[in-house]
């Protein structure tokens, strides 16, 4: 049910007494482990590092402000775990019914364990938590479990496998189109990104679909890539993301790739909607052109059974399930499977600071998670100051759970707005 913010009174769950006494008999009672008492959902505001322009499918610039919905679990001992909703909206009858089924469960019981490491979901919840409709519930559960175990989330899966996570700035949109200028504005932003310490960026292409239809858009894409490469220089990765902007321009896509080959793009992402046969043909054509740019896609394919055929088909070099929507354990499972096929996993994230921090943990938990997508978005309700950004890499703290805290301002947002409570 939907209600305004309410105060939660933490239960002691067995901590009041170490023994039960009966006349003439005393025996020890094993304290009950904390169980899930409530789940909550609350929309909270945030902002990007700077105002973001449009991409190939947008109808207007994205701007600077944003909103994400924080998911929490409250345990019977007062422990609070926090996570974030994915693209599948939580709150319909089926998701609420599954959320209610978790009330009274010990977080640890939702997993199968290999010693002190999570091996898989428990059998009775594996199907649900493997589905994008419910996967967002795992993020607060993992945070709470990490706090109970006094370990970072990546350590629950056997990490860290590296010291820090490589990342890329993902905010270079069509600022030239928004401001009606040339590509010099993109070059200036690229120089700023490098000056901010990043060693990789992702820029948007695909102007030919809507904003500069046809050949003029292709020409501007080519000019933009060359301007950005000149601005950042060498020893700097430049990724390209078309957001399906070449869906009606397949021949033009090859001209574009051939024309920017000397800029050595790290990957080309979402040239057109996910279609295995179309990407198989693209790979063949790129091979004929001796184009070595990696092919990336998959942010709209978030159910593991739907992701794996892409991995096995050999048409992608990089697969990009959305981390918040696919779920943390599921993305790690894809990373393990993809590694066997020489495919790298780079989880998609946008408009979510929590999603980015989850990406850092994913990169620390598995070596086949190559990059973290950094949208430079700040969620106003959390304190993530324990994370450190240095030399293009994110360093996670050795703190339990995800490593961020809900700030005092969360309570104000909860009072001022409606909070969904499942109990």
User: What is the pLDDT at residue 31?
Assistant: 55
Least confident of 14-18, 239-243, 405-409: 14-18
3-state secondary structure of 175: helix
Tell me the per-residue pLDDT of 158-188, one tens digit each, with 9 for 90 and over: 999 999 999 999 999 999 999 999 999 999 9
DSSP 401: B
Other residues' Cβ atoms within 10 Å of the Cβ of residue 278: 15
In whole angstroms, give the CA distance from residue 165 to residue 356: 11
Tell me the per-residue pLDDT of 109-161, one tens digit each, with 9 for 90 and over: 999 999 999 999 999 999 999 999 999 999 999 999 999 999 999 999 999 99
User: What is the pLDDT at residue 418?
Assistant: 81
Structure tokens at 175: 């600022």
Q: Which residue has the higher pLDDT, 6 or 69?
A: 69
Residue ranges of the domains in the chain? 2-157, 165-403
Architecture of the domain defined by 165-403 = Alpha-Beta Barrel (3.20)
Q: Which residue has the tokens 């479990």?
A: 145
In whole angstroms, give the CA distance from residue 213 to residue 276: 26
Contacts of 60 (CB under 8 A, 6+ apart): 54
Pairing type for strands 25-28 and 19-22 reads antiparallel
Report whether 168 contacts 198 (CB < 8 A).
Answer: yes
Structure tokens at 248: 């009606």
- Which residues, listed in sequence order, are joined to residue 295 by a DSSP beta bridge? 268
Contacts of 264 (CB under 8 A, 6+ apart): 229, 238, 293
Q: Which of 363, 360, 369, 298 is nearest to 339 (CA)?
A: 369
Report whether 252 contacts 218 (CB < 8 A).
Answer: yes
Residue 1 reports pLDDT greater than 80: no
Q: Report the pLDDT averaged over residues 32-53.
A: 95
Q: Report the pLDDT averaged over residues 227-232.
A: 98
User: What is the pLDDT at residue 12?
Assistant: 28
User: What is the pLDDT at residue 332?
Assistant: 97
In whole angstroms, give the CA distance from residue 135 to residue 282: 32
User: What is the pLDDT at residue 49?
Assistant: 97
In whole angstroms, give the CA distance from residue 177 to residue 403: 38
Residue 413 reports pLDDT greater than 80: yes
Tell me the per-residue pLDDT of 340-381, one tens digit each, with 9 for 90 and over: 999 999 999 999 999 999 999 999 999 999 999 999 999 999
Contacts of 43 (CB under 8 A, 6+ apart): 67, 68, 69, 70, 417
DSSP 299: T
Phi, psi of 45 (to 5 degrees): -85, 165
Other residues' Cβ atoms within 10 Å of the Cβ of residue 360: 26
Residue 333 reports pLDDT greater than 60: yes
pLDDT, averaged across the chain: 91
2-157 — its CATH code? 3.30.390.10
Structure tokens at 187: 């070059």
Model pTM score:
0.91
């Amino acid at each position: 049910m939907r209600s305004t913010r309410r105060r939660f009174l933490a239960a002691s769950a067995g901590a009041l007494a170490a023994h039960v006494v009966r006349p003439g008999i005393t025996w020890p009672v094993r304290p009950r482990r904390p169980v899930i008492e409530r789940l909550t959902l609350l929309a909270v505001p945030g902002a990007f590092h700077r105002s973001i322009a449009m991409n190939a499918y947008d109808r207007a610039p994205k701007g600077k402000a944003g909103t994400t919905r924080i998911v929490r679990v409250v345990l019977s001992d007062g422990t609070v775990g926090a996570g974030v909703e994915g693209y599948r909206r939580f709150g319909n009858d089926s998701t609420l019914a599954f959320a209610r089924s978790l009330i009274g469960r010990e977080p640890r019981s939702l997993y199968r364990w290999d010693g002190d490491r999570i091996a898989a979901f428990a059998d009775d919840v594996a199907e649900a938590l493997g589905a994008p409709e419910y996967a967002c519930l795992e993020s607060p559960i993992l945070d709470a479990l990490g706090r109970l175990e006094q370990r970072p989330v990546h350590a629950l899966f056997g990490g860290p496998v590296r010291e820090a996570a490589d990342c890329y700035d993902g905010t270079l949109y069509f600022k030239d189109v928004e401001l009606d200028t040339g590509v010099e504005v993109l070059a200036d932003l690229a120089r700023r990104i490098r000056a901010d310490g990043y060693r990789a960026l992702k820029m948007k292409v695909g102007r030919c679909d809507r904003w500069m239809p046809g050949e003029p858009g292709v020409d501007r894409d080519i000019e933009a890539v060359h301007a950005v490469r000149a601005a950042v220089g060498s020893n700097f990765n430049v990724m390209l993301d078309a957001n399906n902007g070449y869906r009606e321009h397949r021949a033009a896509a090859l001209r574009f790739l051939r024309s920017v080959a000397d800029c050595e793009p790290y990957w080309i992402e979402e040239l057109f909607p996910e279609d295995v046969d179309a990407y198989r043909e693209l790979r063949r054509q790129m091979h004929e052109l001796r184009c070595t740019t990696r092919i990336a896609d998959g942010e709209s394919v978030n159910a593991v059974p739907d992701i794996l055929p892409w991995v096995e088909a050999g048409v992608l070099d990089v697969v990009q399930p959305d981390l918040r929507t696919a779920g943390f354990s599921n993305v790690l499972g894809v990373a393990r499977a993809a590694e066997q096929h020489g495919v790298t996993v780079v989880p998609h994230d946008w408009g979510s600071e929590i999603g980015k921090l989850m990406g850092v943990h994913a990169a620390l938990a598995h070596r086949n998670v190559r990059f973290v997508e950094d949208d430079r978005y700040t969620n106003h309700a959390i304190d993530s100051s324990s994370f450190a950004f240095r030399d293009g890499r994110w360093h996670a703290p050795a703190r339990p759970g995800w490593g961020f805290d809900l700030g005092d301002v969360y309570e104000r947002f909860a009072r001022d707005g409606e909070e969904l409570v499942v109990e």
